């Protein structure tokens, strides 16, 4: 009886110790996985990493985990980490004491070392990544290829396609600079007017983002539209441009694409 | 002989200190109380040297995953109801709604939200606020029996635009609890006796940081994730934390000592829900800041002035030139060191209004020269003895 009581108590004690040995995922950029035994699960904010699991961090990913005392551990290099190696990656943000921070500030104030913040009198309009199809494009194709600019610091891009007839939004993530969608996707099942946008943020404020309008047209309508430019097409042909080059040129200039 | 010199020195120091206080008092009443100079007083009310402790992040960075913030953005009531249900499934200790549903909107979505609030009545803390003489609540439709409510007012008497202080409990006969106090009580971080004892007076908020130091989610993330283990046993507060373009969004954003510009603030820095989270963090750790009383502050200023004047008198007696030469340097060093002392005290959770101590100490050095004129006059008239003569 005594023995079993001791075993139960020991189990409870070791369980409580184990319970403390966990880190909460506080921030995650990119992708990382938790590996326990043979199962691998993607890690998201708010999950726990225990001493039984291993952390797999992908390239260009950054993960901040905290312990019960609120101390942060930061990993930004690709690799496989176990619990002990994670807690060695102590964040360096608290390395300076109040004294050194204060006297450094006083020194900067005395020498008037200001941050040199740039002040401008103007507004930014832009940050548009989308490249193709351009805004207000008429498109006749069974597949839609979306192309966008890539930024050095961002690896994941979120493509949003909005059906203007149903207000349905299709969202997908990719790490490249283009994505092709086929017209048999449910988002294209109704209507011909769509908008698309690419963002580096997973949950952008869609009301505040610029969308490019695309109008899906039939092959017959495309031919009709293109016919209005017959003089230009003739001139381009005379200049020696091939059929494909002429189509590309009209698509880029007038937004009528095949 | 040496003993009588020391006695004279200390008597002079005491009198000079008194003279410093009298002159400071006269200057205060003559200049600050003149209505024409009122803008100065108002401008300085928004400025405190100790703000730099938070602004420059002198405190150790702590993070908290036991207080979770959920950004509701501009979600409609149906989305809110869904998010609350999702949060409830994760079994948090308590849910705080830093939201007021001022009027009814759509019957369908309102009824869904009401049902969610009703079924989790014991676990949800709602908000209301005092607007002059009236109380602003959510529409009566959302009222539930035994609803737990806390006031979300952050403006206190004497607190201008910068949110530095907080009162946890108001009222004499009918007690009212602040939103953060209610959350701390409901989650068991503090008990009512503690709240009534410690939180009746205004106390400085022990800020640990802006929203980044708390585990925070967007409402879309809450809806999209199947399971969020961190919400279990956490206090989850739903409120507004911006809806994109955060830099230019000032809805429910306030000035706090966390503002990067500790002088001449221009853009509000902290969302209301983050202020509540900071207060809750302080209460959960019972990490309150002790404020040195005004009398205590002036007593400390008196002691500092006295010893500064003792040194000043000694230096003045030894060499007038040296005194004049070093006066400004001493004043600069004094202000830097006194401010350092105030920040060290703040690190130990003791708040002292250091401005009077600094100003009186600086003035006390200036007063040494004037004190010499005074004792010379007194000596001429009444054969007054002084260390300086």
- Closest approach of chain B CAs to the CA of A97, in angstroms? 8
**CA-based nearest residue to B370, from B87, B3, B84, B18:** B18
Instruction: Specify the pLDDT at position A117.
Output: 65
- State the average pLDDT over residues B36-63: 75
Contact B215 A102 (CB under 8 A): no
Using a CB-CB distance cutoff of 8 angstroms, which residues of chain B are in contact with residue A93? 61
- Is residue A49 within 8 Å of residue A86, measured between CB atoms? yes
The residue out of B288, B321, B355 marking a domain boundary is B288
Q: In this structure, what are the phi and psi dihedrals at residue B251, rounded to the nearest 5 degrees? A: -65, 125
Is the per-residue pLDDT at B251 higher than 60? yes
Is the per-residue pLDDT at A7 higher than 80? no
Say which residues have a Cβ less than 8 Å from residue A211's Cβ, sequence separation at least 6. A160, A162, A195, A196, A197
Same domain, B270 and B329: no
Using a CB-CB distance cutoff of 8 angstroms, which residues of chain B are in contact with residue A24? 65, 215, 230
Q: Is residue B50 part of a domain?
A: no
Contact A102 B343 (CB under 8 A): yes
Cis peptide upstream of residue A133 (ω within 30 degrees of 0):
yes
The CA-atom distances, in angstroms, between A191 and each of A166, A169, A172, A217, B233 are 8, 13, 20, 10, 47
Using a CB-CB distance cutoff of 8 angstroms, which residues of chain B are in contact with residue A70? 62-65
Same domain, B218 and B92: yes
Strand partners, B104: none
Instruction: Specify the pLDDT at position B306.
Output: 94
More confident residue, A8 or A122: A122
Listed range (A217-221, B78-82, B329-333) with the worst mean pLDDT:
A217-221
Same domain, B341 and B303: yes
- Is residue B123 within 8 Å of residue B94, measured between CB atoms? yes
Same domain, B277 and B319: no
- Is residue B259 within 8 Å of residue B269, measured between CB atoms? yes
Same domain, B89 and B179: yes
Q: Does residue B107 sit in helix, strand or coil?
A: helix
Using a CB-CB distance cutoff of 8 angstroms, which residues of chain A are in contact with residue B243? 205, 208
Is the per-residue pLDDT at B183 higher than 90? yes
B341 CB-contact burial (10 Å; exposed 0-12 / middle 13-18 / buried 19+): middle
Instruction: Specify the pLDDT at position A113.
Output: 66
Same domain, B219 and B100: yes
Q: Is residue B54 part of a domain?
A: no
Instruction: Specify the pLDDT at position A17.
Output: 42
Instruction: Specify the pLDDT at position A11.
Output: 47
Contact A98 B343 (CB under 8 A): yes
Residue A206: pLDDT band (50, 70, 90) is: confident
Is the per-residue pLDDT at A198 higher than 70? yes
Contact A102 B220 (CB under 8 A): no
- Angle of helix A98-110 versus helix B320-347 axis, rounded to 10: 140
Q: Does residue A118 sit in helix, strand or coil?
A: coil
Same domain, B278 and B327: no
Can you count the helices (H) and strands (E) in chain B? 12, 15
Using a CB-CB distance cutoff of 8 angstroms, which residues of chain B are in contact with residue A47? 228-230
Using a CB-CB distance cutoff of 8 angstroms, which residues of chain B are in contact with residue A72? 61, 63
Is the per-residue pLDDT at B214 higher than 90? yes
Is the per-residue pLDDT at B262 higher than 90? no
Contact B244 A205 (CB under 8 A): yes
B222's tokens: 């809450």
Segments forming the whole domain that contains residue B212 = 62-288
Q: How many CB atoms lie within 10 A of CB B87?
A: 23
Is the per-residue pLDDT at A152 higher than 80? no
Cα atoms in the 13 Å half-sphere on the side-chain side of B181: 27
**CA-based nearest residue to A244, from A252, B19, B136:** A252
Q: Is residue B389 part of a domain?
A: no
Of A47, A72, A103, the CB nearest to B63: A72
- Closest approach of chain A CAs to the CA of B84, in angstroms? 17
Contact B56 A101 (CB under 8 A): yes
Mutation target for A interface from B49, B59, B65, B342: give the one with most A CBs within 10 A: B65
More confident residue, B245 or A73: A73
Q: How many residues can be counted in chain A?
A: 258
Q: Does residue A56 sit in helix, strand or coil?
A: strand
- State the average pLDDT over residues A148-158: 83
Q: In this structure, what are the phi and psi dihedrals at residue B149, rounded to the nearest 5 degrees? A: -130, 150
Using a CB-CB distance cutoff of 8 angstroms, which residues of chain A are in contact with residue B56? 101-102, 105
| Sheet of strand A137-139: strand arrangement | A169-174, A157-163, A193-199, A212-216, A137-139, A256-257
The CA-atom distances, in angstroms, between A17 and each of A21, A71, B356 are 7, 18, 50
> Which DSSP symbol is given to B162?
B
Using the Cα atoms of residue B244, residue B247, residue B251 and residue B256 in order, give the sign of their dihedral.
positive
- Closest approach of chain B CAs to the CA of A65, in angstroms? 10
The residue out of B232, B254, B288 marking a domain boundary is B288
Of A93, A106, A207, the CB nearest to B61: A93
Contact A106 B336 (CB under 8 A): yes
Instruction: Specify the pLDDT at position B364.
Output: 93
Mutation target for A interface from B61, B211, B221, B244: give the one with most A CBs within 10 A: B244
Q: Computed over its alpha carbons, how large is the radius of gyration of chain B?
A: 27
Residue A106: pLDDT band (50, 70, 90) is: confident
Contact B64 A70 (CB under 8 A): yes
Using a CB-CB distance cutoff of 8 angstroms, which residues of chain A are in contact with residue B358? none
Q: Domain A130-257 carries which CATH code? A: 2.60.40.10
Q: Is residue B387 part of a domain?
A: no
**CA-based nearest residue to B99, from B80, B114, B121, B118:** B80
Instruction: Specify the pLDDT at position B33.
Output: 65
- State the average pLDDT over residues B6-24: 90
Pairing of strands A193-199, A212-216: antiparallel
> Alpha-carbon distance A166 to A177, whole Å?
27
Instruction: Specify the pLDDT at position A114.
Output: 63
Using the Cα atoms of residue A81, residue A87, residue A88 and residue A89 in order, give the sign of their dihedral.
positive
Q: What is the pTM of this model?
A: 0.75
Q: What are A's interface residues with B at a Cβ cutoff of 8 A?
A: 24-26, 44-48, 66, 69-72, 91, 93-94, 98-99, 101-103, 105-106, 203-205, 207-209
Contact B229 A47 (CB under 8 A): yes
Share of chain B above pLDDT 70, in %: 93
A115's tokens: 């941050």
Residue B264: pLDDT band (50, 70, 90) is: low
Same domain, B150 and B30: no
Q: How many domains does chain B have?
A: 2
Of A66, A101, A209, the CB nearest to B63: A66
**CA-based nearest residue to B276, from B69, B62, B123, B46:** B69
Instruction: Specify the pLDDT at position A1.
Output: 47
The residue out of B237, B272, B288 marking a domain boundary is B288
Instruction: Specify the pLDDT at position B157.
Output: 64
**Is ipTM strictly over 0.85?**
no
Tell me the pLDDT of chain A averaged across its residues.
81
A241 CB-contact burial (10 Å; exposed 0-12 / middle 13-18 / buried 19+): middle
More confident residue, A154 or B179: B179
Using a CB-CB distance cutoff of 8 angstroms, which residues of chain B are in contact with residue A207? 244
Of A46, A48, A94, the CB nearest to B60: A94
Contact B244 A48 (CB under 8 A): no
Q: Report the alpha-carbon angle B296-B158-B174, nearest 5.
A: 95
Instruction: Specify the pLDDT at position B175.
Output: 87
Say which residues have a Cβ less than 8 Å from residue A218's Cβ, sequence separation at least 6. A140
**CA-based nearest residue to B147, from B177, B122, B173, B165:** B122
Where do the domains of chain A lie? 21-92, 130-257
Q: Computed over its alpha carbons, how large is the radius of gyration of chain A?
A: 28
Same domain, B252 and B130: yes
Of B245, B336, B344, the CB nearest to A98: B344
Share of chain A above pLDDT 70, in %: 86
Is the per-residue pLDDT at A88 higher than 90? no
Of A46, A71, A94, the CB nearest to B230: A46
- Closest approach of chain A CAs to the CA of B312, in angstroms? 25
Say which residues have a Cβ less than 8 Å from residue A80's Cβ, sequence separation at least 6. A35, A54, A55, A56, A57
> Alpha-carbon distance A167 to B262, whole Å?
46
- Closest approach of chain A CAs to the CA of B276, in angstroms? 18
Instruction: Specify the pLDDT at position A19.
Output: 44
- Closest approach of chain B CAs to the CA of A78, in angstroms? 24
Same domain, B258 and B135: yes
Is the per-residue pLDDT at B90 higher than 90? yes
Listed range (A111-120, A134-143, A227-236, B200-209) with the worst mean pLDDT:
A111-120
Instruction: Specify the pLDDT at position B40.
Output: 63
Q: Is residue B377 part of a domain?
A: yes
> Alpha-carbon distance B280 to B282, whole Å?
5
- Is residue B127 within 8 Å of residue B97, measured between CB atoms? yes
Q: How many CB atoms lie within 10 A of CB B326?
A: 15
Q: What are B's interface residues with A at a Cβ cutoff of 8 A?
A: 52, 56-65, 68, 73, 215, 217-218, 220-221, 225, 228-231, 243-245, 336, 340, 343-344, 347
Q: Is residue B302 part of a domain?
A: yes
A166's tokens: 């149903």
Is the per-residue pLDDT at B46 higher than 80? no
pLDDT in tens, A44-63: 889 998 888 888 888 777 88
Say which residues have a Cβ less than 8 Å from residue B72's Cβ, sequence separation at least 6. B80, B83, B99, B219, B238, B239, B240
> Alpha-carbon distance A233 to A242, whole Å?
10
Same domain, B71 and B34: no
Same domain, B265 and B323: no
């Amino acid at each position: 009886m005594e023995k079993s009581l001791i075993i139960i108590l020991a189990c409870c004690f070791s369980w409580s110790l184990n319970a403390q040995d966990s880190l909460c995922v506080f921030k995650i950029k990119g992708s990382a996985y938790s590996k326990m035994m043979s199962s691998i699960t993607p890690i998201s904010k708010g999950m726990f990493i225990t001493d039984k699991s291993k952390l797999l961090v992908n390239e260009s990913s950054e993960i901040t985990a905290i312990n019960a005392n609120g101390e942060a551990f930061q990993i930004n290099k690709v690799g496989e980490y176990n619990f002990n190696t994670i807690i060695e990656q102590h964040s360096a943000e608290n390395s300076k004491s109040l004294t050194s921070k204060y006297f450094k500030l006083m020194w900067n104030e005395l020498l008037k070392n200001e941050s040199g913040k740039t002040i401008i009198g103007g507004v930014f309009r832009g940050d548009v990544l989308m490249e193709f199809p351009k805004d207000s494009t008429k498109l006749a194709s069974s597949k839609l290829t979306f192309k966008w600019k890539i930024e050095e610091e961002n690896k994941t891009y979120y493509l949003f396609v909005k059906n203007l007839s149903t207000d349905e939004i299709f969202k997908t993530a990719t790490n490249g600079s283009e994505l092709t969608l086929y017209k048999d996707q449910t988002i294209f099942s109704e209507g011909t007017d769509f908008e698309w946008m690419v963002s580096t943020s997973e949950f952008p404020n869609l009301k505040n983002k610029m969308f490019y309008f695309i109008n899906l047209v039939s092959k017959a309508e495309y031919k009709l539209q293109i016919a209005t430019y017959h003089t230009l097409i003739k001139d381009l042909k005379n200049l020696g441009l091939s059929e494909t080059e002429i189509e590309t040129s009209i698509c880029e200039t007038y937004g009528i694409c095949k | 002989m040496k003993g009588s010199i020391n006695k004279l020195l200390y008597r002079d120091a005491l009198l000079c200190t008194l003279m410093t206080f009298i002159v400071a008092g006269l200057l205060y009443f003559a200049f600050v109380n003149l209505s024409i100079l009122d803008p100065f007083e108002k401008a300085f009310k928004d400025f405190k040297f100790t703000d730099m402790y938070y602004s420059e992040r002198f405190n150790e960075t702590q993070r908290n995953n036991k207080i979770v913030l959920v950004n509701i953005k501009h979600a409609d009531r149906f989305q809110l109801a869904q998010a609350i249900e999702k949060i409830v499934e994760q079994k948090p200790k308590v849910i705080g709604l830093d939201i007021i549903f001022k009027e009814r909107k759509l019957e369908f979505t309102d009824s869904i939200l009401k049902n969610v609030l009703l079924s989790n009545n014991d676990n949800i803390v709602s908000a209301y606020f005092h607007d002059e003489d009236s109380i602003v609540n959510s529409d009566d439709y959302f009222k539930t029996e035994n609803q737990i409510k806390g006031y979300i007012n952050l403006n206190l008497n004497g607190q201008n635009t910068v949110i530095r202080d907080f009162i946890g409990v108001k009222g004499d006969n009918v007690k009212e609890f602040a939103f953060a106090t209610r959350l701390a009580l409901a989650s068991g971080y503090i008990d009512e006796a503690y709240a009534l004892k410690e939180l009746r007076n205004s106390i400085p908020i022990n800020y640990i940081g802006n929203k980044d130091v708390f585990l925070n989610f967007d409402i879309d993330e809450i809806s999209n994730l199947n399971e969020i283990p961190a919400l279990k046993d956490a206090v989850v507060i739903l409120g507004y934390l911006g809806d994109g373009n955060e830099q230019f969004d000032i809805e429910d954003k306030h000035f706090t000592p966390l503002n990067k510009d500790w002088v001449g603030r221009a853009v509000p820095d902290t969302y209301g829900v983050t202020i509540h989270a900071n207060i809750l963090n302080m209460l959960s750790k019972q990490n309150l800041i002790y404020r040195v009383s005004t009398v205590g502050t002036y007593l400390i200023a008196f002691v500092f002035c006295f010893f500064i004047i003792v040194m000043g008198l000694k230096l003045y007696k030894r060499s007038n030139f040296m005194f004049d030469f070093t006066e400004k340097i001493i004043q600069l060093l004094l202000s830097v060191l006194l401010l350092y002392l105030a920040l060290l005290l703040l690190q130990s959770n003791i708040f002292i209004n250091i401005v009077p101590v600094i100003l009186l100490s600086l003035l006390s050095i200036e007063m040494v020269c004037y004190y010499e004129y005074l004792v010379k006059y007194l000596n001429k008239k009444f054969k007054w003895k002084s260390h300086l003569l």
